[in-house]
A and B are shown apart, each in its own frame.
Chain A
Amino acid sequence: MTEIGLTVNGVLRAASAEPRRLLSDFLRHDLGLTGTHVGCEHGVCGCCTVLFDGEPVRSCLMFAVTAAGHEVTTVEGLGAGGMSPVQRAFQDCHGLQCGFCTPGFLCTVTALLRDNPRPSEDEVLEGISGNLCRCTGYQNIIKAVHRAADLIAEESGEADR
């Protein structure tokens, strides 16, 4: 067991774990942050996606020891004081049913819109191509991404005024 410390959602957190501890399990079991979901543990479903130093990555394909000293944002950290525009857009557009895939989509889409505030339809499809959803049929998720882009634009417009 080694002591592993990293910044999660802006707070310095530490716990001891074996080197083989996946970041996904470290977040869920050692830090109690169960918002990050685990579907396949081989990189295919995207449910476990978190932001690692700001970039979306699979937390099931990284060891917690590798993440030590870095910054991780999980779904719990996306909406500081209320829901983020991306979260509200998913709610507005019915972009979820059971919600299992949702944390991964939210993290992926948050980074996508930060890098590309007005993605085209194709760019949205490419951006979420690595996240699987077994319920919604994707149409409402795609709508939610465009809606989130609108919300972010509106809100940053308001902030400028």
Chain B
Amino acid sequence: MKPPPFDHHAPETLEEALEVLARTGEDAKVLAGGQSLIPLLNMRLAAPAHLVDINRVASLDTLEVTEEGVRIGALARHARVERSAQAAATQPLLRAALRHVAHPVIRNRGTVVGSLAHADPAAELPAVLALLEGTVEAASVAGRRTIGAAEFFAGPLESSLRPGELATGAFFPALPANAGIAFAEVARRHGDYAMAGAAALVTVDEDQRVSSARVAYLSVAATPLVLDLTGVLERRPPVTCDWAAAAAYARDHMDTDEDIHASAEYRRHLAGVLTERVLRAAAQQAL
């Protein structure tokens, strides 16, 4: 279990990094925290000719919190974002989800942007970005572009980044007024990838009735699945909402697959249970 040989590039500026990526194109992989890529290399499931190690590009090690939301640079580690009180105050879903990402020691190295770029359907952060309708910022020698979450996650372990492109950061919009969030997942062991997981964002109107309810799921489809459950909940106050109907709707609107961890039916069952749980908690928080 040793990685195959590769040429190592250690740019110190973004310009240098983009220049190497342009030169090496499809033969290159970006190395950020290495917590997903290095296991793949060690198991020889990937063998890129070039690794562009961005760990020395200090300008990417940023975390900016404004009223609009949280902007996370490509070198900000999971642990830094998780610990940031400002980030948690502006968008509490980040911390709630990060606590389920692997173990604390893995979070010391793994990056938020790397997790998005890796696009694992069982990962927490892609579902969070999708629910909040956040964006990924990409750069190449040709210029910059901003990619919406719905477009960014193209397939299992597949983002819509192009060869030569680097994800420089991601933006997670702030929690709106009169809104609440919740995150829950079921994994065999704490820290493992979940068999199913759900994140909810619920808003209430001035009469304290549910005015919007959306849930994003992980581990139930090839890319994060976002369902709008506003209609099913019929704009009622949370105490009279039919959460079970929302759960049933969710179960009927997902096309789960089976794998070694869980059958398709069991996954769908879990997603239903989690739907109810996160909707209740998020609605409670919104009041």
Chain A 64-87 near chain B by CB (<8 Å), digits 1 or 0: 011000000000000000000000
Q: Is the CB of A56 within 8 A of B108?
A: yes
A102 smallest CB distance to B (angstroms): 15
Contact residues of B between 1 and 15, Cβ < 8 Å to A: 1-8, 10
Q: Is the CB of B103 within 8 A of A129?
A: yes
Chain B 6-45 near chain A by CB (<8 Å), digits 1 or 0: 1110100000000000000000000100110011011100
Chain B 190-208 near chain A by CB (<8 Å), digits 1 or 0: 1100000000000000000
- Tell me whether A66 and B34 are in contact in the complex, defined as CB-CB below 8 angstroms, given that A57-B105, A129-B103 are known contacts: yes
Select which of A43, A57, A126, A127 is within 8 A of B39 by beta carbon: A43
Residue B158 interfacial (CB < 8 Å): no
The interface size of chain B toward A, counting residues with CB under 8 Å, comes to 31
Set of chain A residues within 8 Å of B4, measured between Cβ atoms = 20
Q: Is the CB of B109 within 8 A of A42?
A: no
The interface size of chain A toward B, counting residues with CB under 8 Å, comes to 27
Set of chain A residues within 8 Å of B34, measured between Cβ atoms = 61-63, 66
Residue numbers of A with Cβ under 8 A of B are: 2, 18-20, 22, 25, 41-43, 46, 49, 52, 55-58, 60-63, 65-66, 108, 126-127, 129-130
Q: Can you name 14 extra interface pairs (CB under 8 A) apart from A66-B55, A127-B104?
A: A19-B7, A20-B41, A41-B2, A41-B42, A43-B38, A43-B106, A46-B103, A55-B79, A56-B108, A57-B108, A60-B42, A61-B109, A63-B34, A129-B104
A-B contact pairs, 12 of them (CB 8 A): A20-B3, A20-B4, A20-B5, A56-B104, A58-B109, A62-B34, A63-B53, A66-B53, A126-B104, A129-B104, A129-B190, A130-B191
